[in-house]
Amino acid sequence: KNEVEQSPQNLTAQEGEFITINCSYSVGISALHWLQQHPGGGIVSLFMLSSGKKKHGRLIATINIQEKHSSLHITASHPRDSAVYICAVFQSKTSGSRLTFGEGTQLTVNP
């Protein structure tokens, strides 16, 4: 079982809908990242969280450290939001600190 689980794997929405993508993890972490991978393949970091909530434009990310859970919300979704959204947790290990990735959520927003 992957240390980082995302749901749903695929999500189709109509323009304007409120979208939630969930991420659960089973290991101790020092930070959690949300990444966006565009259809062209490029990866962009959206948020880095270690507690609470962050907001950037129409995107909101929350994390509950006790429950080992994070959510990414998109308000007033738009077709340009169509992408793969990836949750990644940052762990400090003796073998080297690193990001461990979820399998991604493919979001398609239809006009």
Partner 1 sequence: DTAVSQTPKYLVTQMGNDKSIKCEQNLGHDTMYWYKQDSKKFLKIMFSYNNKELIINETVPNRFSPKSPDKAHLNLHINSLELGDSAVYFCASSQDRLKGDIQYFGAGTRLSVL
And the tokens for 107?
């979001």
Q: How would you classify the pairing of strands 105-110 and 10-14?
A: parallel
CB 90 within 8 A of CB 23: no
Shortest spacing between CB 78 and partner 1, in angstroms: 22
Q: Which of 61, 55, 1 is nearest to 25 (CA)?
A: 1
- Residue from 7, 10, 75, 97 touching partner 1 (CB under 8 A): that is 97
Pick 14 or 108: Cβ nearer partner 1: 108
Run of H or E including 11: strand 10-14
Task: Closer to partner 1 by CB, 48 or 60: give it.
Answer: 48
Among 7, 26, 50, 108, binds partner 1 (CB under 8 A): 50
Q: Is 7 in the site for partner 1 (CB under 8 A)?
A: no
Q: Is 78 helix (H, G, I), strand (E, B) or coil?
A: coil
What are the residues binding partner 1 (CB under 8 A)?
Answer: 29-31, 33, 35, 37, 41-45, 48, 50, 84, 86, 88, 90, 92, 95-101, 103-104
